[in-house]
Structure 1
Amino acid sequence: MSDSSATRSTLRVTPPQLKELRALKIIVIHPDDADGMQLTQQLQRIGCQVQAFWPPVQILPTGIDIVFMAVRPDTIGLRFEWIQSEDAPTVIAVVTYENPTIIDAVLALGAQAVLPSPVRSFGLLTALVLARETHKENRSLTRRLRKVEAKLLGARHLSEAKTILMKTHNVSESQAYDLIRDQAMSKRTTIEDVAAAIVHASEVLSLGRR
């Protein structure tokens, strides 16, 4: 293959992150000025599905993937419940200038990227893709952390439940485990759920004896 053919082949390769852009639902929360129009038009040229809102909305339409938010003095004091939700969208802050107050506001938004204003076509695509990938990675790490926490909690409950049964039924550790396992099988649930129920019941009974 010639060098020119290899170059053309390389140029035709599209990262999967770019291929998904047309499926993304994006909201632009920005004043309806030249900068806001430029941002909306550039996103539409990329192929994204875009809706523009101003003033800022407290409730987002369903299924939104990315929010471009203008960070301005008149929006700094606003708090948005959707930012705290478990399935919160990727946030990209649009800033006109930098100072400690603006930076604090960007951090409060949990923004994954910052886009300087006035908006230019150069850098928008990169900010969009990088912010999206960072957001997905953060959500993946959060899910993995919750699984680890749940596993550790389950192990703690199992250990406590075995100790409770060993004391109350005068059995060995292996026998206590067998009791928990048999109960889980009969109720068609997990060992961890049975262990948590035993621990909870023990705590309730302990409170009743006080």
Structure 2
Amino acid sequence: MMAFDELAAGCSAPRLLHDLRRLRVAVFHPQDRDSEELLLQLRRIGCQVQAFWPPSMTLPDSVDLVFLAVHPNVELPDWAKQREPGGPVIIAVVMYENPTIIEAVLTLGVESVITSPVKAFGLLATIVVARQIKHQRTLLLKQNQKLENKLSGMRQVLEAKMILMDAKRISEEEAYKLMREQAMVRRVTVEQIARTIVDVHKILPLNSG
């Protein structure tokens, strides 16, 4: 097996490999040959590794990467079943490929899977790819949230314009101009002004006339 230093020296992305050395890893796996091999290779890479079994109900602080053995008779912890967007990368370790195990892996939405018997070859690539998938997922979630916020703001601006048009008997253009002027005076966004108008209108409707 090529030594980690040799791999890092010949890699086109040494920064990524350097980051691997600083990874804080939690391994939730029974004590057997698979766990021994996994821990050995992770330490050879340079990761800071902690081993546990059975899976604890809470994660250790500041964990970047988790290897989680998925067994049919072992309940998965809540942190794995109800994953937070900012949580660690999870790689499932499976011994069987039956429908129950596959369903559990799909439910967890893990970033990658390794199978028993655990082998040194491919482990580094699996970690790198899993981290990249997690990174892409995080970016997509942020972009999706940004789009949702933008759409929500647009809906509130439209609703605020309708409220002003009805209350002040003005055109849509005039209503938007009024909101924009108020936003400039208060040094806030038009969306914030619109949100205020909508919220106030819910409490005290602005009647026309």
TM-score by length of 1: 0.86
1:130 matched to 2:125? The reply is: no
The change in CA–CA distance for 1:184 and 1:87 in structure 2 (over 3 A counts) is: same
Task: Give the Cα–Cα distance (whole angstroms) in 1 for the partners of residues 59 and 26 of structure 2.
Answer: 9
Task: Give the Cα–Cα distance (whole angstroms) in 2 for the partners of residues 81 and 194 of structure 1.
Answer: 39
Q: Which moved more, 1:65-74 or 1:171-180?
A: 171-180
Please tell me whether the aligned partners of residues 59 and 79 of structure 2 are also in contact (alpha carbons under 8 angstroms): no
Could you tell me how far 1:149 is from its partner in structure 2?
1.2
Could you tell me how far 1:117 is from its partner in structure 2?
1.0
Task: Give the Cα–Cα distance (whole angstroms) in 2 for the partners of residues 134 and 86 of structure 1.
Answer: 13
Task: Give the Cα–Cα distance (whole angstroms) in 2 for the partners of residues 146 and 195 of structure 1.
Answer: 20
Equivalent AA in structure 2 for residue 50 of structure 1? V
Task: Give the Cα–Cα distance (whole angstroms) in 1 for the partners of residues 106 and 99 of structure 2.
Answer: 11
Q: Any runs of at least 4 consecutive aligned residues in structure 1 with deviations exceeding 6 A, and if so which?
A: none
Please tell me whether the aligned partners of residues 160 and 197 of structure 2 are also in contact (alpha carbons under 8 angstroms): yes
Task: Give the Cα–Cα distance (whole angstroms) in 1 for the partners of residues 16 and 203 of structure 2.
Answer: 52
State the partner residue of 1:89.
Answer: 88
Q: Which runs of 5 or more structure 1 residues have no equivalent in the other structure?
A: 1-7
State the partner residue of 1:107.
Answer: 106
SS of the equivalent of 2:21 reads helix
SS of the equivalent of 1:120 reads coil
> 1:102-139: CA deviations, max 9, x gaps?
00111122111110111110111111111110110111
Equivalent AA in structure 1 for residue 170 of structure 2? V
> 1:29-53: CA deviations, max 9, x gaps?
1112222121111111011121111
Please, which of 6, 10, 13 is the counterpart of residue 12 of structure 1?
10
State the partner residue of 1:34.
Answer: 33
Task: Give the Cα–Cα distance (whole angstroms) in 2 for the partners of residues 84 and 131 of structure 1.
Answer: 15
Equivalent AA in structure 2 for residue 13 of structure 1? C
SS of the equivalent of 1:26 reads strand
Task: Give the Cα–Cα distance (whole angstroms) in 2 for the partners of residues 131 and 55 of structure 1.
Answer: 23
Task: Give the Cα–Cα distance (whole angstroms) in 1 for the partners of residues 183 and 43 of structure 2.
Answer: 54
Could you tell me how far 1:179 is from its partner in structure 2?
2.0
TM-score by length of 2: 0.86
State the partner residue of 2:185.
Answer: 186
RMSD (Å) for aligned C-alpha atoms: 2.1
Q: Which runs of 5 or more structure 2 residues have no equivalent in the other structure?
A: 1-5
> 1:40-77: CA deviations, max 9, x gaps?
111110111211111111211222111100000222x4
SS of the equivalent of 2:86 reads coil
Task: Give the share of equivalent positions with the same residue, in percent.
Answer: 46
SS of the equivalent of 2:61 reads coil
Q: State the number of aligned residues.
A: 197
